[in-house]
Amino acid sequence: MFMQQKVAFYTLGCKLNFSETSTIARSFQDKGFTRVGFNEKADIYVINTCSVTDNADKRFKTIVKSALKQNQHAFLIAIGCYAQLKPEELAQVDGVDLVLGATEKFKVTDYINDLSKNDKGEVHSCEISDANFYEGSYSIGDRTRAFLKVQDGCDYKCTYCTIPLARGISRSDTLQNVLQNAKEISERGIKEIVLTGVNIGDYGKGEFGNKKHEHTFFELVEALDNVKGIHRLRISSIEPNLLKDQTIDFVANSNSFVPHFHIPLQSGSDDLLKKMKRRYLRKTYTDRVKKIKEIMPNACIGVDVIVGFPGETDEHFLETYNYLNELDISYLHVFTYSERPNTEAILMKGAVPKNIRYKRSKMLRGLSVKKRRAFYESQLGNNLTVLFENENKEGYIHGFTENYVKVKTPWNPELVNTLHHIKLTDIDKDGLVRFDFLKQSECVA
């Protein structure tokens, strides 16, 4: 029925979305579709949406328009977090034919009876309380690293966040299935796996359809370290209260896990952390960073931070800024607070004017540039290992070291998806790092 038809995908948002898009794309290919780039003519365009910020919501309409420019008769499908939170809103967008919620998106091909355009988008979206089963996924083919989903949903009640409304309760893949997926990834020649989920430190909960932890995140890490053929394992974002000393100690001495942690902070003010209903105070965060740097002095530490949360005074912001300035971290992901429907924060007093939010965001982004530069400078002269990416960017190939230093060298297609021992030498004018290859530089499993 679908033979020779073409499908294209566009992913907004997080690594988790990328892993799910890749899995959904494979389900189309299993049905006989040919996958093409989003900037090519296709019969179906699937847009995997995000709703973390206002900007992601607004981008959706732009992406729909760009798809229709390629083929005005194409069948457009919206999936993902925004599709679960506001399905009717997406269905009203000109050109959208089908909107699928949190559980329906994994059965997308079942909802395609014919590809004729609809006057209004058809909606299939469950109550989020029904999103209580686990769908495994991982990304391959798009990058030289794979995003491996191990957990979904969240039981935290952070006052600014819509993710529990979009993805449901915390639940996990079985350990056996995670290990099987990791094995499949390694057999495809992919050198690096990034573990992803909504709250991966909560791994184990819901592993067999209940709240009991059958396995812990540490046991997952321990088991993955023994999968043959994987050169690198990277932990994506993990909550500071769930990143235990045991895990940090293990990473420091593991076969495959790299010295790179991304740990959300959100605010350097205990007052705001309480208002956000985060499950830690600043001291816990400080202790996590100190512990990592004590045993892995060259580790890279990334930080998520929100500016402009309701009630954030100049004093609160400066408290955050000064705290991050003094902390031994490597870069920031800065989010400007935006009001989200059905959250506690939207009802809080003390809304920060948008021009002040943007000013604070700009200040922290500047601090991030400074922090990254200082981290890169601290690594000059070190012998590290680089995994090269697969794009030719203005005559250069880029890659990342195990501790997430981004390097560049003149384009050579033979370097794609290979690991090499290098010595970092200097920082280029674009902020990326130059290096010398060391003798016998290719790593062999």
295 shares a domain with 373? yes
Residues 377, 369 contacting (CB under 8 angstroms): no
Whether the pLDDT of residue 298 is over 80: the answer is yes
222 shares a domain with 146? yes
121 shares a domain with 39? yes
Boundary-marking domain end, from 70, 97, 130: 130
Phi, psi of 147 (to 5 degrees): -95, 120
97 shares a domain with 164? no
CATH code, domain carrying 316? 3.30.750.200
- Identity of the highest mean pLDDT range in 25-29, 48-52, 154-158, 319-323: 319-323
pLDDT at 143: 64
Whether 293 is in a domain gets the answer yes
Collapsing DSSP to helix, strand or coil, 314 comes out as: helix
Whether 252 is in a domain gets the answer no
pLDDT at 440: 63
C-alpha dist (Å) from residue 311 to 217, 268, 338, 365:
35, 14, 13, 21
If you search the block for the tokens 């004590």, which residue do you land on?
Answer: 294
145 shares a domain with 226? yes
212: Cβ–Cβ under 8 A, 6 or more apart, which residues?
A: 205
Q: For residues 380 and 22, which has the higher predicted lDDT (pLDDT)?
A: 380
357 shares a domain with 289? yes
pTM of the model: 0.86
287 shares a domain with 184? no
160 shares a domain with 125? no
**Structure letter (DSSP) for residue 257:** B
Whether the pLDDT of residue 441 is over 60: the answer is no
pLDDT at 445: 44
Whether the pLDDT of residue 310 is over 80: the answer is yes
Whether 251 is in a domain gets the answer no
Tell me the pLDDT tens digit for each residue of 85-133. 888 888 888 899 999 988 788 888 888 876 666 667 788 866 655 655 6
For residue 197, what pLDDT band results from cuts at 50, 70 and 90? very high
100 shares a domain with 48? yes
- Amino acid type, 184: E
Overall number of domains in the chain? 4
Of 160, 86, 161, nearest in space to 123 by CA: 86
Range of the domain at 433: 382-437
Tell me the pLDDT tens digit for each residue of 389-403. 988 999 999 999 999
